[in-house]
Amino acid sequence: MIFGIRIRTLARICFAVGIIIVVMGSLNPQPAILPLRLSDKLVHILAYAILGIVGSIGYPNRSMTAVLIGGLTVLGGAIEIAQIYIPGRDGTLLDVLANALGSVLGVAGGRQFKERP
């Protein structure tokens, strides 16, 4: 995957903003109300898949694959642990697994993007 510095920089900014949004939304005592009726696990998979795609574009080196997947999985696990202590929220192992699956799918999918010549 060969992207120009501008695209990588934009993707890195979007990745950081996306992480902030996921963390803030996940640690908010009031769970987000989504306009669509989606499964909770599907929302986890989609959120982490998007982070994985954007992260893999921002950090295109193949050596970053494990770092992105591992980092997003650890982030998801830490959030689920923190939710145990937040009234109105509950952290579950299934959510951690959904986060990890989304991370793997997103990073793998993001690795498929290539800049057009």
State which residues form the domain around 49.
Answer: 5-30+38-110
Q: Within a domain: residue 24?
A: yes
Structural domain count, the chain: 1
The predicted pLDDT at position 117 comes to: 46
Q: Within a domain: residue 115?
A: no
- Note the pTM of the prediction, 2 decimals: 0.89
The predicted pLDDT at position 34 comes to: 67
For every residue of 87-98, DSSP letters joined together read: TT----HHHHHH
Question: What would the two tokens of residue 12 be?
Answer: 């890195």
Could you report the per-residue pLDDT of 20-76, keeping only the tens digit for each?
Answer: 999 999 999 887 676 677 788 999 999 999 999 999 999 988 889 999 999 999 999
Q: CA nearest 4: which of 72, 78, 75, 60? A: 60
* pLDDT average, residue stretch 73-92: 94
pLDDT bucket at 94, cuts 50 / 70 / 90: very high
Kindly tell me the burial class for residue 108, based on how many C-beta atoms sit within 10 Å of its own C-beta (0-12, 13-18, 19 or more). Answer: middle
- What average pLDDT is seen over the chain? 90
Question: What would the two tokens of residue 32 be?
Answer: 């987000």
Q: Within a domain: residue 78?
A: yes
Q: Within a domain: residue 117?
A: no
